[in-house]
Structure 1
Amino acid sequence: MERANAAYYATRDPFADFITAPEISQAFGEILGAWAVVTWQSMGSPDPVLLIEAGPGRGTLMADALRLVGRLAPDFAQALRLQLVETSPRLRAIQHDALAPATAAPIAWHDRLEDVPDGPFILLANEFLDALPIRQLVRTQDGWMERHVRDGNFVLHDSDPPPPPLDRRTVEPGGVIEICEPALAIAGLLARRLAGTVGVALFLDYGLDRPVAGETLQALRQGQPADPLLDPGEADLTAHVDFPALRDVALGIGATVHGPVGQGAFLTALGLFARTERLARGRPPGEARALIDGAHRLAAPERMGRLFKAMAVCHPSIGMLPGFEPVERTG
């Protein structure tokens, strides 16, 4: 999966095969920009502060966020130092063209999150973790086996049991546990950084909000499901994010974690629909309908609202963050 996705992102336009939330609605990036402002204030308004995006795609999310920040929070706009985690030279050029008009802040690119300098930070990562490589362990009557790929087919090899915290899950014979070691490493890296500096990392991705076993590896080619083993590097490979495992790692190191919660509830609490209504006013009817449909696509439970989740990892000194407040139920 790692080599296939590296080839895919280096040579193809991924947005020909799928569309992400920032491309669906500009309100998505704008309300995350507002979220970053409030979060920065809850951190004590450090100056400078690193505004990091992992997997920035075309730069659409960050450009929308920065335009709103520039209008509503010039003090934050002055304090931020933009850090982008992106390996593709082609996408870096696209990101530069999108972001240069939106901010006067210095922009730095990094191949890995580990390369981002130390300091107070706010990290945004939308549909970043799902593209990281996974391992699949299969429980058999005699123990654990790991799936490998050989000549376009899955084959099984002997394997050690799943590592913590996944080793606590009950899996029947024939069941599968997926392990995303890079995502677990990122959760650990951030939690260790947060032990020494104030900061928040926000992840939005599709995945699990409870610990379950099962296979989720999938491929998309030209917007349609495809065989993940066919023509490596020609399709986008993803797997559901195991948010409970990431939460366990971060909590075990001492960070505070909010969520995961459904993306629909998170975005609605941040004002997605109110912002969309304002954007739709005065637009031609077709554009207004497209804006409103985009908001529903992001938040409706039967669309992206339930499958996609939001989770924040933060310094223990930071209290409840916008979008994660408990929902009061009546009746």
Structure 2
Amino acid sequence: MLRRALLRPSALRRLSSPSPSHSSFPLSLASVRQCSSSSSSQIPHSHSVEQLEDTPPPPLSATISIDRSNLYNPTEHSHEPSAESELVKHLKNVIKFRGGPITVAEYMEEVLTNPKSGYYMNRDVFGKGGDFITSPEVSQMFGEMIGVWAVCVWEQMGQPDRINLVELGPGRGTLMADLLRGASKFKNFTASLALHLVECSPALQKLQYQNLKCTTEETADGDSGTRHTSTLAGNPVSWHAMLEQVPTGFPTIVIAHEFYDALPVHQFQKASRGWCEKMVDVTENASFRFVLSPQPTPAALYLGQRCKWAKAEEFAKLSQIEVCPKAIDLTQEIANRIAVDGGGALIIDYGLNEIIADSLQAIRKHKFVDILDDPGSADLSAYVDFEAVRRSAEEIPNVSVHGPITQSEFLGSLGINFRAEALLQNCNEEQAESLRTGYWRLVGEGEATFWEGPDEQTPIGMGTRYLAMAIVNKKQGVPAPYQE
């Protein structure tokens, strides 16, 4: 959706609804304005915000450390004149005809998923030839461990003979393929699976079809008239543009690996009159810039909700806040489905178990670039606010939330060490080196001490930067590996 091992510095990445009740929080920013400013989790970017205040916000007191060791350059901005892309023209037209700026979330959503020109829609963005490398692309062991987790949930459900296995943003389909191969010894489990891939990109759907070794046959009934089957384990496969399209009525296991980080975020900045939403506008010379909203915006409802979930002292340190309404809504949709039908969800992503200040970043060809530079040509993502995800799930009755724990803890508890040792028994030296490198990237922290190659290629462990959280039906007990 390693979303993104660097080759992506912020982690080992994609390594691509009903709103909650608003009656319990204010319809304006009034209650939020009691919170004062400074930042505990700030990631700088190269675009400054055009202030609508005479006095700029106070300086930030702390930053998130971003590993840039595998980046060729820390930032890049194109100053050469060039023909505008269709997406740039579209964004400017939206701003022009609306008569004012758009939210950062609207900008992010257009950049990533615009049907004609969105970043994910018409290309393969993964791997060395793309813009980032994700955990499943680093090592087969990642998907195999997710398979172990899914089998454990299935057993806790009483081994039902039909379950929906849903992956949100499956990338190339590598994780799902490795999961099926790794779980192939559990014949009753694999035989129970109906695969549902939530993917809006036609280009990625084709790659998923290929990597799952799908076949297609005509059917006499059904809306589509065709049936897709993965020959890896003989499972039916369906594609959907959104989770709501996945059939209900069966126990469901949802995998969301590096999906939440691509959901559009709204950004707010503290000004003298209170919290103002950061917007994207067009300057007189037709370039994009950030501005602050002159009045409260609809997303302030979610800001108010996030304020309720935070400790007063936490908010007192912030001058900027990032909220993701779609993450809150999606989590509650998943939790509702699990509460009714049974099952569980696994969310793995890079993020923090606390409120996020300003984490939105852009990656192009394994380099950080300016967020507003040539939209549609770079990946945009933001840190996942795991506390908000947990709190939104906990509002749904009959589910329990576990974690987050680090990816290193999660994979280690499921047995990745033993799997690595078993694989090493049948490796030549080159394969063994690749296996050790992949293992370190998944569970290590910092630079690999065993590395003897070029410094610029030193494997960076992201085991503590990725977090793993599980949501399950309460009747099923505590899922692996969260038992004490």
Identify whether the pair has TM-score above 0.5, normalized to the shorter chain: yes
Structure with the larger RCO, 1 or 2 (CA within 8 Å, 6+ apart): 2
Deviations 1:180-237 (A, max 9, x none): 111111111012122211110001100012x234110001100111111111110000
Which of residues 39, 49, 69 in structure 1 aligns to 2:183?
69
Q: Is the 8 A contact 2:356 2:383 kept in 1?
A: no
In structure 2, the residue matched to 1:154 is 290
**Structure 1 residue 96 and structure 2 residue 181: aligned?**
no
In structure 1, the residue matched to 2:340 is 196
Q: Is the 8 A contact 1:165 1:248 kept in 2?
A: no
In structure 1, the residue matched to 2:146 is 32
**CA offset at residue 127 of structure 1?**
0.5
Q: 1:163-174 counterparts in 2 under 5 A?
A: 163-169=304-310, 170=312, 171-172=315-316
**Structure 1 residue 323 and structure 2 residue 481: aligned?**
yes
Q: Which moved more, 1:281-290 or 1:47-56?
A: 281-290
SS at match of 2:183: helix
TM-score (norm 2): 0.65
Q: Is the 8 A contact 2:183 2:190 kept in 1?
A: yes
In structure 2, the residue matched to 1:5 is 112
> In 2, Cα distance between the equivalents of 1:102 and 1:49?
17
> In 2, Cα distance between the equivalents of 1:174 and 1:47?
50
SS at match of 2:120: helix
Q: Is the 8 A contact 1:140 1:173 kept in 2?
A: no
Q: Which ranges in structure 1 are unaligned for 5 or more consecutive residues?
A: 327-331
Higher helix share: 1
Which of residues 361, 370, 374 in structure 2 aligns to 1:218?
361
In structure 1, the residue matched to 2:197 is 84
In structure 1, the residue matched to 2:327 is 183
**CA offset at residue 90 of structure 1?**
1.1
Count of aligned positions: 324
**CA offset at residue 239 of structure 1?**
0.2
SS at match of 2:478: coil
> In 2, Cα distance between the equivalents of 1:226 and 1:273?
36
Q: 1:253-272 counterparts in 2 under 5 A?
A: 253-254=396-397, 255-272=399-416
Q: 1:292-303 counterparts in 2 under 5 A?
A: 292-302=436-446, 303=461
> In 1, Cα distance between the equivalents of 2:381 and 2:199?
17
Q: Which ranges in structure 2 are unaligned for 5 or more consecutive residues?
A: 1-107, 214-230, 283-287, 447-460
SS at match of 2:483: coil
Which of residues 266, 273, 282 in structure 2 aligns to 1:135?
266
In structure 2, the residue matched to 1:307 is 465
Q: Is the 8 A contact 1:175 1:213 kept in 2?
A: no
**CA offset at residue 14 of structure 1?**
1.4
TM-score (norm 1): 0.94
Which of residues 237, 247, 250 in structure 2 aligns to 1:107?
237
**CA offset at residue 172 of structure 1?**
4.3
**CA offset at residue 68 of structure 1?**
1.8
Q: Is the 8 A contact 2:124 2:203 kept in 1?
A: no
Q: Is the 8 A contact 1:165 1:249 kept in 2?
A: no
SS at match of 1:317: helix
CA 125–307 in structure 1, closer or farther in 2 if over 3 Å, else same: same
In structure 1, the residue matched to 2:255 is 124
SS at match of 2:422: helix
Larger radius of gyration: 2
Q: Is the 8 A contact 1:184 1:246 kept in 2?
A: yes
Stretches (4+) displaced over 2 A: 158-161, 165-174
Percent identity of equivalent pairs: 41
In structure 2, the residue matched to 1:329 is none
